[in-house]
Amino acid sequence: MLTKVFGSAVFGVEAATITVEVNTDSGIGYHLVGLPDNAIKESNYRIAAALQNNGYKIPGKKITLNMAPADMRKEGSAYDLTLAMGILVSSEQITEKRSLSDYIIMGELSLDGAVQPIKGALPIAIHALKDGFKGVILPVQNAKEAAIVEGIEVYGVTEISEVIGFITAEIELEATRVDVHSEFYDQLENPEFDFADVKGQESIKRCMEIAAAGGHNIILIGPPGSGKTMLAKRLPSILPPLNLEEALETTKIHSVAGRTLEKGGVMTSRPFRSPHHTISDVALVGGGQYPQPGEISLAHNGVLFLDELPEFKRSVLEVMRQPLEDRDVTISRARFTVTYPASFMLVASMNPSPGGYFNDPEAPVVSSPQEMQRYLSKISGPLLDRIDIHIEVTPVPFDQLTHREGGEKSVVIRQRVASARSIQSKRFIQNERVHYNAQMNVKQIRRYCQLDANSLQQLKQAMERLNLSARAYDRILKVARTIADLEASEHIQSVHISEAIQYRSLDRDGWLG
């Protein structure tokens, strides 16, 4: 008897429907075809034990299972439940009262028949709705995540007996419901990391606010203990809340990577990723035999923090150049190509010298200018070109450190940031690829960052006097545009240019040159 049951394969952040054809005929044998990987080939042992422990069996006949399309590579153990249900119906051990063809069925089986969670539940549910399926049957751990998708029934199960009972109409399963809007808009007013905890550093907090308002990449330069990491961890708390579209896109990436199980449902806060400096280039940008998203994609719509930037391998830093420019990363293999979104804010920190101190007469370790230059040269010019703001972080004086009153709360700063982002959204409404100032190309800079004669002369004098590099020109204009947006100013004024010039420390003589 020929039976068809449907599963789903995830490629990148998109899914594709897999048709599993199960044919039971006279003879002996178990033949699984359609480019399955080893995890799928081993599924017959798990399926046999699970069926036996639930009162069923793999029939002593010739069983042929084809996973179509046959030229598409399938991987992972998530097809156990799909194959098992096909075998039961094809061998007539159960009679389907509800049609298998109405559902996508996915799940890994334990030997006792328990159903284990899978990766990629959200893109699977989205594609199932697109392909016109009535519902999705998934492990209960994945149900809340998949139920974000409106218009399709999602059934969470804990063991294969529940699926059998549902298909034979012996039991009813309750569809998982998620109030997306209630869950999504329940934003935290008291974030774990709040700028109110930061003592002093008012100028640095101002700089972080500008970076958040314009989506600018930023690098913090300062000695150990000056608060660079503390400031970076609090940046997500002042970024505008995720809108529903961003939240779903971010959740899809984390779902594919199997990182949504502990949270469940839709991601409502912007991700903050902080990989160790020993990370490999594949782990950072994504890849592998079966490509998985890397840290830059997991930071999509959020913050990627690289602490002690010069300690990262140069090859690792160089692979970020293209994603920083294109805001996505493409991974190519012989048979397929996948693309992961990678639109993130890069926040980097570093010491000004190998010893951590430079030009500080009271420092325990003082590095020579040559040592410092060698240390800073680990950061390539092309990577530095993609960082809009450079800011020096100095240690907090003792009297400010012991001050009892807290600083401005993140919620208050976020309101100003959101207002500036709103201005930018209206400005770039005709260009779907640009949402905030940091994404502007040269043509848009010339259009939206026009200067009057006085501001232009001020910028010219500053570049000549401070010997700023040519790469600093466009960055200064972008940052000045953001400063103007924070003040709701239609035009860039000389005071905005003056402040933006301060945020190009590494372009001056004595730094990177």
The percent of residues in the chain predicted with pLDDT above 70, rounded, is 90
Q: 38 in a domain, yes or no?
A: yes
Contact 284, 316 (CB under 8 A): yes
Contact 371, 353 (CB under 8 A): yes
Residue 353, pLDDT > 80, answer no
Residue 464, pLDDT > 90, answer no
Indicate the pTM of the whole model. 0.87
Report the DSSP pairing between strands 103-105 and 135-139: parallel
The percent of residues in the chain predicted with pLDDT above 90, rounded, is 55
Q: Is 288 helix (H, G, I), strand (E, B) or coil?
A: coil
pLDDT band, residue 326 (cuts 50/70/90): confident
Count of domains for the chain:
1
Q: 361 in a domain, yes or no?
A: no
Residue 489: closest CA among 458, 448, 457: 448
Q: Which stretch of 20-24, 155-159, 169-173, 504-508 has the lowest confidence by average pLDDT? A: 504-508
Rounded Cα distance between 36 and 70, Å, is: 9
Cβ-based neighbours of 368, under 8 Å, separated by 6 or more: none
Mean pLDDT throughout 158-166?
A: 97
Q: What is the CATH number of the domain that holds 28?
A: 3.30.230.10
Residue 328, pLDDT > 80, answer yes
pLDDT in tens, 250-301: 999 999 988 876 556 788 889 999 999 999 999 999 988 778 899 999 999 9
Report the DSSP pairing between strands 218-221 and 389-392: parallel
Report pLDDT for 401: 60
Cβ-based neighbours of 226, under 8 Å, separated by 6 or more: 393, 394, 395, 396
Q: 107 in a domain, yes or no?
A: yes
Q: 161 in a domain, yes or no?
A: yes
Report pLDDT for 49: 97
Letter for the amino acid at 290?
Y
Contact 171, 289 (CB under 8 A): no
Residue 336's Cβ-side half-sphere holds a number of Cα atoms within 13 Å equal to: 15
Q: 153 in a domain, yes or no?
A: yes
State CA 271 to chain mean position distance: 7
Across 100-104, 358-362, 460-464, the highest mean pLDDT is recorded for 100-104
Mean pLDDT throughout 431-455?
A: 86
pLDDT band, residue 178 (cuts 50/70/90): confident
> In terms of residue numbers, what domain contains 107?
2-178
Q: 287 in a domain, yes or no?
A: no
The torsion region of residue 349 among left (phi > 0), alpha (psi -120 to 50) and beta comes to beta
Residue 20, pLDDT > 90, answer yes
Give long-range contacts, CB 8 A cutoff, 24+ apart: 458-466.
458/494, 458/497, 458/498, 459/497, 459/501, 462/497, 462/498, 462/501, 466/501, 466/504, 466/507, 466/508, 466/509
